[in-house]
Amino acid sequence: MPTKYYIIYIQIVFFLHLRYGQAQVLYDFTAEPGNGELTVKEGETITITNQSIGGGWIEARNSHGETGLVPEEYVEVSVCVSQSCVPMLCSIVAVTAMDDDEWDDEWDDTRSSACYAEVDLEAAEEGATNRTEVQGPTRKITLNKFPGFSKSGPELYLLAKMLPKGKEKISMGEVGPVWLYPEVQMECLVADPKKGSKMYGLKSYIEYQVTPSTTNRPVNHRYKHFDWLYERLLEKYGSAIPIPSLPDKQVTGRFDEDFIKLRMERLQSWMSRMCRHPIVSNSEVLQLFLNHQDEKDWKLGKRKAEKDETVGVMIFSQIEAEAPELGLDEVERKCESFSRFTKAMDDKVKDLLAVGHDHWKRCTGPLPKQYQKIAKAFQNLSTVFSSSGYQGESTLTDALTATGKTYEEIATIISEQPKKDLHFLVETNLEYKGILGCFPETITVHKAAIDKLKDADKLVATNKISPHDKPVMAKRVSNMSYALQAEMNHFHSNRIHDYNRVMQFYLEEQVKLYETIAGKLRAALQQYTTL
């Protein structure tokens, strides 16, 4: 499903690009004479005439009709949608709706991220700038879910003018750079799924009760609210912190009990992970999600969050390492090793998942069947024996029947075991697969920054940047590296904790399993007359 959803999303975006090639200039760019470049000013709106120039350049026309090349990283593709195209957008939405109720559901009141026309209106009401309206689509494009479309490079941060002092501090712990952890770690409980409905019961949905340990006051949220939270966190922190996807959307059986149970369990793990993260747990948007007072409070908070401009790479502007600047090669070495590790772990986690899947199938399929056959064979023998008409038969036949029953029980025990232990092992590894899936993008951003720094001299020489930009870039790349290291250390400590826990749980359950089976067989054995 999600793939389809994205594909259709991209379609929308494409269609918008083709029809409205508008772009916002993010910061000043002075054309180099004789290079066919176009000088633009921050805030200016230009029309893209050719997006497929390549080499990081696009062709654009300014309001005066002048055309020339502009670095694509210096502009943000924008979409100004008139009422006229709303029906068409909705029709596209309708397409998705056909295969995913809930996705349709997602749209029904998240106007700001979906139905641009309304944003227009609201935006107007709230006197929002043009930029606000277009965040929906553009941000979607910058999400690391489709790297191919990433339009915002590290320059946004590396070359940003005067930044406020970062509020997220990184200190040096014994394992190296570490985030500042709160005294008490926030937890939250996702529980008590309830079926709700709206539009006079035409639309129904599941609502979960989310209770943060901080307030102990429950708030109700639907899957789509979690999804909204996910999108916000991804936008805001995705470049620095892996924000794993939510459990997949589901086309059918959304009200099936097992599905609800599994989804709740996964939402719980996801929320716990977010709450366990010192930066994320501290974020306004998560606080809003957990602590909003009422519907109005929630809606207002949503709007505010959606207007947050410190997203993408700009998150690094809020991070500050209290440590000496790192040399480029040190930065590169760290980046390489993290890249290697996360890639390697990703492979092994996937292997483990494949093995786990196999084992699950065997334990719920052939293996219990085998034990049922054994059971049947013993029981049939017992039946024949009892027909012998020979006296003094009963002890043996009773024992054989009991043995048969025992093997039937063993078959059941074995087939139900994976739900008990393998499930948790698989879920944990699925979670890590999700987290590890976020690193490539984080590392790409990081490498892009490193490359930019390497190009600094060339950029200065070609007047792309001013000479005093270079040390600033170097400082900020170092800062990014501290952020990456802090995040890796956070990842490692969580990983060690999580795998310790899951392995212990799995082994405990396996020990119980084999002891139970041994016990049952011993009981069956005692039924025979000792010779």
Q: How far is the CB of 362 from its own copies (least distance, A)?
A: 6
Smaller CB separation from its own copies, 188 or 400: 400
Q: Are 17 and 1 in contact (CB under 8 A)?
A: no
- From 109, 118, 358, 451, residue interacting with its own copies (rule: CB under 8 A): 358
Backbone φ, ψ for residue 70 (5° rounding): -135, 140
Structure token digits, residue 36: 């066919």
Closest by CA to 188, choosing from 280, 294, 259, is 280
**Is 507 one of the binding residues for its own copies (CB under 8 A)?**
yes
Distance between CA atoms of residues 243 and 145, nearest Å: 11
- Exposure pattern of 217-255 as b/e (b: 16+ CB <10 Å)? ebbebbbbbbbbbbbbbbbbbbbbbbbbebbebbeeebe
283 lies in the binding site for its own copies (CB under 8 A): no
Q: Stretches 94-102, 197-205, 446-454, 523-531: which one binds its own copies (CB under 8 A)?
A: 523-531
Q: Do the annotations mark residue 222 as ligand-binding?
A: yes
Q: Is 409 exposed, middle or buried (0-12, 13-18, 19+ CB in 10 A)?
A: middle
User: Contact between 403 and its own copies (CB under 8 A)?
Assistant: yes
Please tell me the number of Cα atoms within 13 Å of 467 on its side-chain side: 1
CB of 464 to its own copies, least distance (A): 36
* Cα–chain center distance at 68: 39
Q: Annotate each residue in 140-179 with x if it binds its own copies (CB under 8 A) or - if it does not, as one string.
A: ----------------------------------xx----
Instruction: Kindly state whether residue 185 participates in binding its own copies, applying the rule CB under 8 A.
Output: no
352 binds its own copies (CB under 8 A): yes
| 35 belongs to the binding site for its own copies (CB under 8 A) | no
Question: CA torsion angle for 13, 22, 59, 33 (degrees, to 10)?
Answer: -150
Residue-wise DSSP of 199-259: TTTTEEEEEEEEEETTT---EEEEHHHHHHHHHHHHHHHTTTS--PPPSPP-SS-TT-HHH
- Using the contact rule CB under 8 A, the part of the chain among 10-18, 27-35, 36-44, 396-404 near its own copies is 396-404
Nearer to its own copies, 144 or 397 (CB): 397
| Min separation Cβ 479 and its own copies, Å | 21
Q: In the complex, what is the shortest distance from the CB of residue 510 to its own copies, in angstroms, rounded to a whole number?
A: 5
Q: Which stretch binds its own copies (CB under 8 A): 151-159, 206-214, 341-349, 439-447?
A: 341-349
Question: What mask, x for binding its own copies by CB under 8 A, covers residues 458 to 497?
Answer: ------------------------------xx--xx-xxx
- 176-179: strand order across its sheet: 176-179, 168-173, 319-321
Does 387 bind its own copies (CB under 8 A)? Our answer is yes
* Interface residue with its own copies, options 7, 88, 124, 384 (CB under 8 A): 384
382 Ramachandran zone, left/alpha/beta (phi>0; psi -120 to 50):
alpha
User: Residue with structure tokens 């690193």?
Assistant: 439
User: What is the Cα–Cα distance from 513 to 65, expressed in whole angstroms?
Assistant: 76
- Who contacts 197 (Cβ-Cβ below 8 Å, separation ≥6)? 203, 204, 205
By three-state DSSP, how is residue 25 classified? strand
The yes or no reply on residue 396 touching its own copies (CB under 8 A) is yes
Instruction: Kindly report the backbone phi and psi dihedral angles of residue 76, in degrees, each rounded to the nearest multiple of 5, phi listed first.
Output: -125, 120
Shorter beta-carbon distance to its own copies: residue 194 or 501:
501
Give the pair of three-digit tokens for residue 480. 């990014």
Residue 522 binds its own copies (CB under 8 A): yes
Residue of 194, 217, 299, 348 that binds its own copies (CB under 8 A): 348
Give the end-to-end CA distance of the chain in Å, rounded to a whole number. 64
Out of 293, 337, 412, 463, the residue judged to bind its own copies by CB under 8 A: 337
Kindly give the pairing relationship between strand 203-212 and strand 188-198: antiparallel
Find the shortest distance in angstroms from Cβ 108 to its own copies: 43
Instruction: Point out which span in 36-44, 139-147, 234-242, 519-527 binds its own copies (CB under 8 A).
Output: 519-527
Contacts within 8 Å (CB) and 24+ apart, 255-259:
255/195, 255/204, 255/206
412 binds its own copies (CB under 8 A): no
Q: Which amino acid is at 324?
A: P
Is residue 522 annotated as involved in ligand binding?
no
Q: Residue 263 annotated as binding? A: yes
**Binding segment for its own copies among 212-220, 224-232, 286-294, 352-360 (CB under 8 A)?**
352-360
Stretch that binds its own copies, among 92-100, 141-149, 150-158, 386-394 (CB under 8 A): 386-394
Looking only at the bridges linking them, the beta strands covering 168-173 and 319-321 are parallel
- Work out how close the CB of 488 gets to its own copies at its nearest, in angstroms, rounded to a whole number: 8
213 or 504, CB closer to its own copies? 504
7 binds its own copies (CB under 8 A): no
Nearest to its own copies of 98, 503 (CB atom): 503
Interaction of residue 129 with its own copies, rule CB under 8 A: no
| Cβ distance to its own copies smaller for residue 95 or 518 | 518
Q: Which of 7, 88, 98, 503 binds its own copies (CB under 8 A)?
A: 503
Q: CA 105 to CA 100: how far, in whole Å?
A: 8
Which residue, chain included where needed, has tokens 């589901």? 250
Which residue, 11 or 395, is less far from its own copies as judged by CB? Answer: 395
Known binding residues: 222, 224, 263
**What residues line the site for its own copies (CB under 8 A)?**
174-175, 337, 340-341, 344-345, 348-349, 351-352, 355-356, 358-359, 362, 366-367, 370, 373-374, 376-378, 380-381, 383-385, 387-393, 395-396, 399-400, 403, 488-489, 492-493, 495-497, 499-501, 503-504, 507-508, 510-511, 514-515, 517-518, 521-522, 524-525, 528-531
